[in-house]
Amino acid sequence: MLCKINNYLKILYRLSGYLAAFFLILVAVFILTGIASRIFGFYIRGLAEYSGYCMAASSFLALSYTFGENGHIRITLFLERAKNNFRRILELWCLSVTTFLSGFLAYYFIKMLIISFKFQERSEGADEILIWIPQLSVAIGSSIFFICIIHNTSPLLLLVICPVYVFRLGQLFFVKNLCWFSGGFDVPFLGTLGHFYGLVKTIT
């Protein structure tokens, strides 16, 4: 089940990357059309605005795909010097901050989209397009990026937390068995120190 979800998410990121490439091609088409319009003396209203909308869509839709391919610029000066668990903790801290910021952006972009759709706001440029239409790609791109961050944070979170819980469970299992062998003493609830204190009191 988890493998299927992982594959579906990777397909989603790839599709987002393809859409980003498509909008980037549209940016080039609009720019070339604008150049041609000046040369041949015809005018198409809103070309500059459409180029800006496509650039915004391309930028946000490419975030998740680029992150999944490790294409974003990263400063790894401290990570390269860190070892094992400390490096995982540093990476988890970085991903946690990124998760918060990406979730914050996704929430407010979706909120902005809903408000623009509700009031049917239009662009102030020459195109006068309904502004929620270009905002839709930004909201979708930021939401997919937020999902991608969570998707990449979860395995690292398990790598950091699971050893702690495994050690704790093993510790409790060991202490309870020692207490049972020492005469069935009930383990107190005051933590590991209390467990060993009760064990010593029972044995002596």
With pLDDT > 90 as the criterion, what percentage of the chain qualifies?
34
Chain segment 17-61, per-residue pLDDT in tens: 999 999 999 999 999 998 898 888 887 888 888 999 999 999 999
Q: Where are the domains of the chain?
A: 2-203
Note the pLDDT tens digit of each residue in 140-176.
999 999 999 888 877 655 554 444 444 444 444 444 4
Q: Which residue has the higher pLDDT, 128 or 180?
A: 128
Phi first, then psi: give them for residue 51, nearest 5 degrees: -60, -40
Amino acid letter, residue 18? Y
pTM confidence score: 0.70
